[in-house]
Amino acid sequence: MACQRIEAVLDYAAVHEDNDRRNPARWKGNLDKVLPAPRKVTPRVHHPAAPYADVPRVMCVLRGKTFLSAYCLRFTILTAARSGEARGAEWSEINLDAKVWTIPASRMKAQKEHSVPLCDEAVQILETMQAWRQSGTDRVFPGARGGLLCDVALTKTLRTVSAGITVHGFRSSFRDWALS
C-alpha cells in the first residue's frame, strides 16, 4: 500500500516536472526484479465458511425469518454473490421471466458484466421484495431511505443463525459443494 502511494507520487512528479527517469517505486520492471512477489510472502487469509453440509440447516432457519436482511442473506447465498452485489441489486438488473439477474460491469469486482441464473427460491424472494417495493428507489433490498442495505445487517442476521462464519464464506461453501 505504501509502495503504491510512493509510486503514484513519483509518477505524478515525472509527468508534471517533465522527469523521464525510471520510478524507483515501480513494481513491474524494477522492484519485481529484486523482491519476492507479495503473494509469495503474505499468508492468505480465508473468510470463515460454513461446511457446505451445514448450509441447508442455515437456509432452513433463515426461511423462518421474515425481515429484509434475512431475505437478502438468503438471496446472497442462493446466488453465490458477494454481499455488496446482492445488497446493491436493482430491479433494472432483474429479468423474472428469464430468471436471470444481470449484474453490470460497474458493480462487479472484475469489472465484467455477470449473468446469474435464478433458482425458484431466489425468484420467490424477489417476488416478496416486489410486494415490499419502496417508491423512489430501484433497489431490490433497500436500506434506510432507499439507500444501500448495510452489510452489518446481513452479518447480524447470520450471527443469529450460526456463529463463527461470514456472509462471504458462503461463496467458499458453494465452491466446496460444486467441487464435491
pLDDT at 29: 72
Alpha carbons 35 and 33: distance in angstroms, whole number:
6
pLDDT tens, position by position, 31-50:
777 788 877 888 888 889 99
pLDDT at 20: 64
What CA–CA distances, in Å, run from 14 to 3, 5, 32? Answer: 16, 14, 21
Contacts (Cβ under 8 Å, ≥6 apart) of 41: none
- Which residues of the chain have a pLDDT value below 70? 1, 3, 15, 18-22
Tell me the pTM: 0.78
Residue 58: CB atoms within 10 A of its CB come to 19
| Strand order through the sheet with 94-95 | 94-95, 100-103, 114-117
